[in-house]
Amino acid sequence: MSFRVRHRPWCGTLLASVLGACSGIQTALDPTGNGAQAVQRIWLLLFWVCAAVWVLVLLALLWAMLRRRGDYDPATTPEPQPYAPTERRIGRAVGIAVAVTVATLIALTVVSYSAGRGLFSESGDGAVSIEIVGHQWWWEVRYLAAEPSNSFVSANEIHIPVGETVRIILRADDVIHSFWVPNLHGKKDLIPGQVNVLYLSADRSGTFRGQCAEFCGAQHAHMALFVVAEPKENFAEWEEKQRRPAKQPQNAEQERGQQVFLRGPCVMCHTVQGTMAGATTGPDLTHIASRLSIGAGRLPNTRGHLGGWILDPQTPKPGNLMPPNLLPPEDFQALLSYLDSLE
């Protein structure tokens, strides 16, 4: 009894983590959309086949261990001699086991191959085309449009309409990255000098987390992005907002903040559409306040975190390209007010 009482919290945590793995914003076991469902189907098939094989092998081992062979005394029992019928039986058993194993492996290979072909057989433009460029360590997101003036740039977050096929064009700027949103699809690499294409779709609305899945440097683990799947109308509204240039300052403090941005170091790397800031080394900040995270999923996008990030980005994400910026307090607060207004 004392065992159960003492271990209950531990067991509870274990159970929760096992169950928790089956749902969430970043799991391949809670799929939505064709891609992730195909991945899950093959995962479940492999899991159950391998589990069955494992159980059968252990049962055979158990049977072999427990089987009664009669008493054996080395002093009196003569050396066992080869006996043709037994040899034949053993040979047949091993032969059947090998054949079943080979057949299983071939069947799984065929299933895996056809699932892979299914996953990457789509083509066409898709309802929405998004170009994603991998950088160390963030995602540049470019919504393409037939009319160039309708395209816009964002970072570390993509929105997609539910039920539509979305074409994702993958490129890289520096090293190889990999785009992986487990709830929506398998992985695909972003390779410098090569364009890869992936088709996503989401069956239900929700926010999903993606992660760089190819080691790309010190902050590889802090290179995440969010995918927000939302109903078509909401998506159209969001898209319309993102296309607009940045909001003009509404009051004196935001005005000052804009001046700090344009005259200070920010303008050297970042873009704010509708102002003079047009550098592309860092993420586009035109609608920074509408995004969920800063630092590619490193921190939630709140005024406090943003302030900390601007003052010292090297503590939460050492090695990233943004240098520490020690601004005078009034300038700093004004800058935060301005950035907060960029919805």
Partner 1 sequence: MSPRTLLLVVCAIAIFACDREERQFRPKPPAAALSNTIHMSPLQPGMPMQAVQTRNDYESNAYAVAQGQQLFRAYNCNGCHSNGGGGMGPPLMDGKWIYGSDPANIVATILEGRPNGMPSFRGKIPEQQVWELAAYIRSMSGLLAKDVAPGRTDHMAVKNPENETERRPPKQTATPPSALGTD
Residues that bind partner 1 in the complex, under the rule CB under 8 A: 174, 263-265, 267-269, 279, 281, 312, 314-315, 318-319, 321, 323-325
172 with 138: CB under 8 angstroms? no
Give the residue with the Cβ less far from partner 1, 106 or 279.
279
Give the residue with the Cβ less far from partner 1, 145 or 176.
176
Give the residue with the Cβ less far from partner 1, 153 or 162.
153
Q: How far is the CB of 135 from partner 1 (least distance, A)?
A: 11
Give the residue with the Cβ less far from partner 1, 174 or 237.
174
Q: How far is the CB of 278 from partner 1 (least distance, A)?
A: 11
Give the residue with the Cβ less far from partner 1, 62 or 321.
321
In degrees to the nearest 10, what's the CA dihedral of 44, 47, 50, 51? Answer: -110
Q: How far is the CB of 314 from partner 1 (least distance, A)?
A: 4
Q: How far is the CB of 212 from partner 1 (least distance, A)?
A: 18
Q: How far is the CB of 292 from partner 1 (least distance, A)?
A: 25
User: For residues 114 and 45, what is the distance between their CA atoms, to the nearest angstrom?
Assistant: 13
Q: How far is the CB of 206 from partner 1 (least distance, A)?
A: 36
252-263 vs 329-340: helix crossing angle, rounded to 10: 100
Nearest partner of 338 among 272, 243, 242, judged by Cα:
272
Give the residue with the Cβ less far from partner 1, 264 or 304.
264
Residue given tokens 């999923």 in the structure block: 297
Which tokens belong to 166?
């979305």
Residues 6+ apart with CB under 8 A from 135: 172, 173, 174
**Residue 101 φ/ψ, nearest 5 degrees:** -60, -50
285 with 339: CB under 8 angstroms? yes
Nearest partner of 272 among 249, 297, 304, 305, judged by Cα:
249
Q: How far is the CB of 237 from partner 1 (least distance, A)?
A: 35
User: For residues 76 and 54, what is the distance between their CA atoms, to the nearest angstrom?
Assistant: 39
User: For residues 91 and 187, what is the distance between their CA atoms, to the nearest angstrom?
Assistant: 44
Nearest partner of 125 among 88, 163, 169, 81, judged by Cα:
169
